[in-house]
Amino acid sequence: TNTDVGANPVAIGLADIDGDGVDDVVTSNRSAGSITVLPGDGAGAFAAGEDTTVGTAPAGFAAADLDGDAFIDIIVANESDDTVSILLNAGDGTFDAPVDLAVETPGAPSDIAIGDLNDDTFADFVVTLSQDNDIWIFFGNGDGTFSESIGEKKVFEPSRIALADMDGDGDLDIVTSNTVDDTIAVLLGDNEGNFGNPAYFPTGATPRGFAVGQLDNNASLDVVVAESDDASVRIMLGSGGEEPTDPPGEAFQITTDDELPLGVISTPYSEFIETENGTAPVTATLTVGALPGGLTLDEDGTEVEISGVPLEAGIFTFTMQITDSSTPAETATMEFSLSISSTPPGPNGDFDDAVDYTAGNEPFDVVTVDLDGDTELDLVIANASSNSVSVLIGNGDGTFAAAVNYAVGSRPVALAAADLDNDTEIDLAVANANSEDVSILIGVGDGTFGASTEYDVGAFPRAIAIGEFTGDLLPDIAVANFNGNSFSMLENTGGAVYAAAVDFNAGFAIGDGPIDLAVADFNGDGNDDVATANASDDNVAVYIGDGAGSFAAAVLYDAGDLPVAIGAVDFDGDTNLDLVVLNETGESVSVLLGDGTGLFAVAVNTDVSGFTVGIVFGDFDQDSRIDVASANFNASEILVMRGNGEDGIDSVEAFDVGQAPAAIATGDFDGDGLPDLAVVNSLDDDVSILLNQ
């Protein structure tokens, strides 16, 4: 019998959540960000599930009475936002609002175990941090609250965790499975909250889930572990109070960053790939990809040098395997990216370390504009989870004042800034995905705004832009409706009052899943046109405007896999507008050169490494060529892509920002004449400012 739970359930357990004496089923649902409780009836059947929202990407969980009320509570490890959620049972099988405790970043908490670790009768818990190679220990106060972690133990990439008395002394010990070095670790406890260093027991390849119990009736606990890469189960019989073996040494690994320094064609290049914990000499081979022509590998002790004179330009991705001379030999593997530029970079384009400013919850878009008329650029940020926009007034020296927030519709995901009512002051237009409308906020001129007014648009608006589509010189609005497979045009009737939206879809051949749009005059007739990036169809649709509020049927152009961002710019310097598209799944940039008549050439695609979202243009390195900057959502970085002045990307450089950067904007924030960058970090609830050097 199948019973529905939340999307992508990854862990399951049994506990009497509703206090009726019958076990219920609990699942953690990674994609849904929730847990589901299926109440049992005692006869093998389960009622429909009740979902409770927790953090991002919940993984392992544990259940116990945390606050002494005799009802079972739950603790959940949230891998992607580095928190654990405490869910206290309300006494009826439902839970109070979760209380989140932060752990190390990036920690990727993966599993939880609960027990009394210091003999005070209160429930404590331990959590594995797989990316930080840690176990964190939280001590309970008996009321459902916990102290900050006052103990942490280093264990190499722990995955799952349990508490059990492994040495028979009556005290709880910690057991973890460790997927990288293929071991089970045991940390012996003293019943005072202290634990010894881990002792390691070898397993097969990639041990994950395990269970502890008595398998051979000798009074000592045993372990059974699932070895995922060996497709096997290993039984490890305990020997009671014997001390385990010493832990293995640190693993042989490559320590060089995977983004190698930029090279220039026909210019000598040298970069060393460094390793540690290995025995010299090492040998190196490329298992995937190839070096640029003219470069070779040379081993030197525990290092490998990439050197020579590159004979070809481009972005080269390759996987290097390095083997040491130990017995048996150890290997380490890493994928590298190396950009070889066809021209030397300009004098600028390096960026200072990011400085962060607090925004709202889940910032999702950002624009730069002078809101208060002081000639200094300010920031406006759309906060998807707090249903607000944040305004940060710039000081002109690269710093910003604290955010002031204004309410808008439900889940704002995109915004645009312009003088919508022709009073010379900047106003805001915000696309709200869940309420399927646009919020208009009229600016006072000093950086503040009045209450918003909403206008309905299509299903799940995902992008917004300002244009003049009706010939009356008033700023109109275009919105890309992702679920509606359309774009909406809202005509300004004067004073920033808008007529009902007109949707363009049937008969206009728009692609499925329009996720971003660009507005510009592509054919030079004085009327604004629209181009949409269609994520579901892997193409771009171009609509030529007639200046009277309508558009010709779309002309479609192929892009890469899953295009998510589009912008219009004169990329090749011929005075005609071109289109640049970022392709998320394809990890590429498409350049479609315009001919000035509204038509575009076949896309030229350049591979880049990254989950790119958001797009801005500027001559970041001051070499008189247009460059592209984007947020790399999965890697907590931005990518600055140097244009080659023709139809492609010459090289790529990454700069660190916060977690899950979702959008990017550019402008001169410190008055030095160089384009700087602002990036919103959706998991950190802040914006990173990177000043150009």
Is 13 within the bounds of a domain?
A: yes
Q: What is the pLDDT of residue 54?
A: 95
Residue 427, classed as helix, strand or coil, is strand
Is 368 within the bounds of a domain?
A: no
Domain's final residue, options 321, 341, 361: 341
What residue type is assigned to position 369 of the chain? V
262 shares its domain with 139: no
Is 328 within the bounds of a domain?
A: yes
76 shares its domain with 169: yes
Q: What is the pLDDT of residue 150?
A: 56
Which residues form the domain of 55? 2-238
Better-predicted residue by pLDDT, 564 or 585: 564
- β strands within 451-511, DSSP E: 453-456, 461-467, 476-481, 486-490, 502-504
Better-predicted residue by pLDDT, 666 or 232: 666
Q: What is the pLDDT of residue 494?
A: 96
Q: Model confidence at 246, in pLDDT bands (50, 70, 90)?
A: very low
**Residues 526-583 pLDDT 10s:** 999 999 999 999 999 999 999 999 999 999 999 999 999 999 999 999 999 999 999 9
105 shares its domain with 7: yes
Output the CA torsion 22→28→29→35 (10° steps).
Answer: 60
- pTM of this prediction? 0.62
Is 76 within the bounds of a domain?
A: yes
232 shares its domain with 334: no
Q: Model confidence at 240, in pLDDT bands (50, 70, 90)?
A: low
Better-predicted residue by pLDDT, 248 or 469: 469
148 shares its domain with 225: yes
96 shares its domain with 25: yes
Q: Model confidence at 289, in pLDDT bands (50, 70, 90)?
A: very high
Is 386 within the bounds of a domain?
A: no
How far is it, in rounded angstroms, from Cα 294 to Cα 135?
47
Task: Write phi, then psi, for 635 (nearest 5 degrees).
Answer: -110, 5
Domain's final residue, options 314, 341, 368: 341
232 shares its domain with 286: no
**Residues 617-654 pLDDT 10s:** 999 999 999 999 999 998 899 999 999 999 989 888 99
Is 518 within the bounds of a domain?
A: no
Residue 635, classed as helix, strand or coil, is helix
Residue 284, classed as helix, strand or coil, is strand
219 shares its domain with 261: no
Q: What is the CATH number of the domain that holds 315?
A: 2.60.40.10
89 shares its domain with 192: yes
- Among residues 383, 353, 402, which one has the least CA distance to residue 657? 353
213 shares its domain with 264: no
Domain's final residue, options 238, 268, 303: 238
47 shares its domain with 181: yes
Q: What is the CATH number of the domain that holds 57?
A: 2.130.10.10
Q: Model confidence at 247, in pLDDT bands (50, 70, 90)?
A: very low
166 shares its domain with 310: no
- Among residues 65, 10, 64, 62, which one has the least CA distance to residue 34? 10
How far is it, in rounded angstroms, from Cα 138 to Cα 144?
12
Number of domains in the chain: 2
Q: Model confidence at 242, in pLDDT bands (50, 70, 90)?
A: very low
CA atoms within 13 A on the CB side of 635: 20
